[in-house]
Amino acid sequence: MKLQVKFSLYNAVTKIAIILLLGAAILFSLEKLAYNQLDNRLIKKKNKIIKNLTNSEIDSLLNKQESFTDYNILKEEFIVLTDIPDNQKDSSAIVYTERREIEGDIEVYRILNYKFSYHTNWYNLEIGETMTTLQSIKNSIRFYMLVVLVIALLITLVADYAFSNFLLKPFYLIIDKKINKVDDPLHYNYQNIPTSTDDFNILDNSVNTLMRKINTLFALEKQFIANVSHELLTPISILSTRFENMLNTAEIPIEHENKIYASIKTLNRLKVIINSLLLISKVENNQYLKTEEIDLRQELTDIYEDLEDRIADKSIDYQIDLRDNYQFTGNKALMHTLLMNVVNNAIKYNREGGKIMITGQLKDQKYLLVISDSGLGMSKELVENAFDRFKRGNTEENGFGLGLAIVQSIASFHKIEIQIESVEKEGTNVSITF
């Protein structure tokens, strides 16, 4: 899981927990707040009635048959004034909830009861408001509070994700430019990624330090291979010449002659290996130019002419079907070597009377060349190690497995992708994407 996703999940969980706690606290206190609000309204109405009370108002309320005020036909509130005995004392207003029947309808009311004296007479004032309104207010408040909390949560999550994305952008740039896109340590860019985060600066500098060490070791390895290869070619040539001179000696025993031939064959094989290593070293050190125009169809035709005798010896059905003629700029000799090695493997590991099919077409603005054979095929493990040096696809054959290593080096040099698909005893497909 990415660090950015973890940050976002952590922020989301913490914010949801905080919002749930706040929401629960608000919901539990909502009823008390609503009751307080309603009680304050009743007290204000009581104070207003007492302040504006006159004899005519008292007579009107006492003589009125109905207890509802004129402006409220929905029976949401009532005002009742009654006479009480004169032996009362001033009392504070009492607020309570009670069911009342008003004109045949029973409703739950919040009622304020207040006893007071006016001109030596005592009266009992009751002001009531229905609880239906209160419940409606509470439901509305709950709904809008829930909407506000959800909107606030979504806004904070989006803001956190955007901020974490902005904060981690240098980290992903370091991973992308300093690790993922590095094909050759010799062309590594040591310029630091701009960032104000100290942790990312430390990471960037650490990667640069590591790449300097890798670059040094990589260059030493290439130089070592080149130097050793050059040094070995001279004694091999001397030994080959001496063995050839020995063969020209008169009356040499037949058993000695066979051993000399075997030694010459071994030296030639060793020379091929050294030349292959030199080729790989030169390719990886960019010692070749890519300035020639290469016609893919012409290259495959030339390779067929070179290998025509071997194809005929195994009675192989060799077909080329290039739907589009593809040309590109590169090194002609290296590309010839790449295609020669792939086609040569298709012949070498094919069966008698087998088939080799070469197809090519433009696909998604790339040119896809597929070389298929009906040969021995390879196991999954061998396919995974096909491009490793000194490993072969067929262990029963003699050799040292540098052909596909050369192919991979030339392909990387030309920015070409190569993929191998193979099934044992069915054949192999080599896909080359230009």
Same domain flag for 347 and 262: no
**φ, ψ of residue 104 in degrees (nearest 5):** 90, -10
Same domain flag for 217 and 133: no
Confidence of residue 67 (pLDDT cuts 50, 70, 90): very low
- Pairing outcome for strands 317-322 and 355-363: parallel
Can you give the CATH number for the domain in which 22 is found? Answer: 3.30.450
Confidence of residue 137 (pLDDT cuts 50, 70, 90): low
Same domain flag for 261 and 280: yes
- pLDDT over 90, % of the chain: 16
Q: Which domain holds residue 418?
A: 292-433
Element (H, E) at 368: strand 366-373
The pLDDT value given to residue 372: 94
| Separation of alpha carbons 433 and 68, rounded Å | 91
Assess contact for 129 and 38: CB atoms under 8 A. Answer: yes
Look at residues 90, 106, 137 and tell me which one is the last residue of a structural domain. Answer: 137
- pLDDT over 70, % of the chain: 88
- Which one-letter DSSP state was computed for residue 292? E
As given in the structure block, the two tokens for residue 276 are 């292959």
The pLDDT value given to residue 172: 82
What pLDDT, in 10s, does the model give residues 162-186? 887 888 888 888 888 887 777 667 6
Can you give the CATH number for the domain in which 393 is found? Answer: 3.30.565.10
Confidence of residue 390 (pLDDT cuts 50, 70, 90): low
The pLDDT value given to residue 376: 87
**φ, ψ of residue 184 in degrees (nearest 5):** -135, 120
Q: Flag the least confident range among 40-54, 125-139, 252-266, 297-311.
A: 125-139
The pLDDT value given to residue 70: 37
Same domain flag for 263 and 361: no
Name the E strands within 71-199.
77-84, 94-102, 105-118, 121-130
Element (H, E) at 425: none
| Separation of alpha carbons 326 and 323, rounded Å | 9
Cα 331 versus chain centre, distance = 37
DSSP three-state, residue 291? coil
Residue 188 covered by a domain: no
Residue 186 covered by a domain: no
Average pLDDT over residues 307-317: 91
As given in the structure block, the two tokens for residue 11 are 């922020």
Residue 192 covered by a domain: no
The pLDDT value given to residue 420: 92
Same domain flag for 275 and 304: no
Same domain flag for 255 and 330: no
- Which one-letter DSSP state was computed for residue 320? E
In this model, does residue 211 exceed pLDDT 70?
A: yes
Name which residue leads in pLDDT, 41 or 134.
Answer: 41
The residue count for the chain: 434
Average pLDDT over residues 25-34: 74
Assess contact for 348 and 385: CB atoms under 8 A. Answer: no
Mean predicted lDDT score pLDDT of the chain = 81
CA-based nearest residue to 166, from 188, 195, 143: 195
| Separation of alpha carbons 340 and 345, rounded Å | 8
In this model, does residue 23 exceed pLDDT 50?
A: yes
Name which residue leads in pLDDT, 223 or 406.
Answer: 406
φ/ψ region of 320 (left if φ > 0, alpha if ψ in -120 to 50, else beta) reads beta
| Separation of alpha carbons 333 and 275, rounded Å | 15
Average pLDDT over residues 95-112: 81
Assess contact for 355 and 321: CB atoms under 8 A. Answer: no
Look at residues 137, 158, 181 and tell me which one is the last residue of a structural domain. Answer: 137
Assess contact for 125 and 85: CB atoms under 8 A. Answer: no
Assess contact for 262 and 246: CB atoms under 8 A. Answer: no
The pLDDT value given to residue 71: 38
- Which one-letter DSSP state was computed for residue 284? H
Residue 165 covered by a domain: no
Same domain flag for 11 and 131: yes
Can you give the CATH number for the domain in which 247 is found? Answer: 1.10.287.130
Confidence of residue 88 (pLDDT cuts 50, 70, 90): low
Same domain flag for 298 and 238: no
Cα 293 versus chain centre, distance = 39
In this model, does residue 265 exceed pLDDT 80?
A: yes
Cα 135 versus chain centre, distance = 49
The pLDDT value given to residue 253: 84
| Separation of alpha carbons 388 and 381, rounded Å | 12
Same domain flag for 228 and 302: no
In this model, does residue 392 exceed pLDDT 60?
A: no
Confidence of residue 237 (pLDDT cuts 50, 70, 90): confident
| Separation of alpha carbons 149 and 23, rounded Å | 8
Look at residues 137, 158, 184 and tell me which one is the last residue of a structural domain. Answer: 137
Burial of 151 (0-12, 13-18, 19+ CB in 10 A): exposed
Residue 322 covered by a domain: yes
Residue 189 covered by a domain: no
Burial of 278 (0-12, 13-18, 19+ CB in 10 A): middle
Bridge partners, residue 81, by sequence: 125
Same domain flag for 234 and 316: no
State the amino acid at position 79 in one-letter form: I
Please, which residues have CB within 8 angstroms of residue 339's CB and are 6 or more apart in sequence? 299, 300, 303
Average pLDDT over residues 363-381: 89
Same domain flag for 132 and 25: yes
Task: Give the chain's domain count.
Answer: 3
What pLDDT, in 10s, does the model give residues 395-416? 444 444 678 888 988 998 899 9
Element (H, E) at 115: strand 105-118
Residue 413 covered by a domain: yes
Of these ranges, 7-11, 136-140, 239-243, the one predicted with the greatest mean pLDDT is 239-243
In this model, does residue 12 exceed pLDDT 70?
A: yes
Residue 142 covered by a domain: no
Confidence of residue 290 (pLDDT cuts 50, 70, 90): confident
DSSP three-state, residue 153? helix
Same domain flag for 122 and 211: no
